[in-house]
Amino acid sequence: MTTFPLKLGYKASAEQFGPRQLLDFTSEAEDCGFDSVWISDHFQPWRHTNGHAPFALSWLGSAAERTKRVILGTSVLTPTFRYQPAIVAQAFGTLGALYPGRIILGVGSGESLNEVAVTAAEWPATKERLARLRESVELIHRLWTEEMVTFNGQYYHTLNATIYDKPEQPVPIYISAGGPVAAKFAGRTGDGFICTSGKGDELYRDQLLPAVEEGAKAAGRDPSAIERTIEVKVSFDTDKARAMADTRIWAALALPAEEKVTIHDAREMEKRAETVADQAHRRWLVSDNVEEHVEQVGHYIKLGFTHLIFHAPGDDQSRFLQLYAKEILPRLRQRWG
């Protein structure tokens, strides 16, 4: 039985900041005592105006050189449309060889916002996206563990493919899931499971976490060996009004999932988001009270998550990092660490 220690990470928001700023925030997060830093892998941001979308794979190499200790991962990368999975295997094989024990490949089934602009393909239904994800993860695993890989899948094919620079220490693959089918897959195959906060306890308690366990048991695996990771959206500040206002830039997250899934233009996403800007705060833990906020965050630890990645919406990320390091991280570790 595996018991994971509590880990507290920082989300480097590539949709909101440029690559150099994100490096500075990452270095500061390490200095502030965060355990991990995760970057989103977007081709387009959630909003066109003042948006950013630096390339996660090249950025990870810079971030790893800039830091010494923090774990670095993608939350999440889609290895199924604009990337061929063998190229993902090569890229993360190299990162794993350069920075052993510090790299995690977080993967998901994708969003049209990032994939359609690059491929001009019709965005497929959930069933196909999950099938592609399963196949890509299988291929990546084989390329990391076998000498020559000829792969004839439904979607991907290789012929005597070899990754010449494999990491001696395997790069963990964490699988994101917003529903029980993908969560079962994470349990069957993943080293970790990733989801996002703010969607109601019933989803996590009654669907996602039980599905991870079910998938693991069905595959003959120990469910406790899968790290439960959640990206927690937090807007904490000494000024409650400021904390509330900061969430508006992320109004797109308040759109219904079925509405977002087919939008592949950042300008259209921004336009739709404006219609729900007053509801943006609903996806965030908003507070100006230390003990209240510790309880808000601790709720996810009580649900069973052991690796929390904090995503803060404000423009002044240094203010967030310093405040969180002083007031929140020590209290979380004291109570649940």
Active-site residues, by number, are: 42, 111
The CA distance from 198 to 200, in Å, is: 6
Please count the other Cβ atoms lying within 10 Å of the Cβ belonging to residue 33.
16
Task: Name the token pair of 206.
Answer: 């009654």
Please count the other Cβ atoms lying within 10 Å of the Cβ belonging to residue 296.
19
Nearest to 9 by CA among 89, 66, 56, 73: 73
The CA distance from 269 to 256, in Å, is: 12
DSSP 196-231: ESSS-HHIIIIIIHHHHHHHHHHTT--GGGSEEEEE
| N-term to C-term CA, the chain | 18
Which strand (E) or helix (H) includes residue 235?
strand 227-236
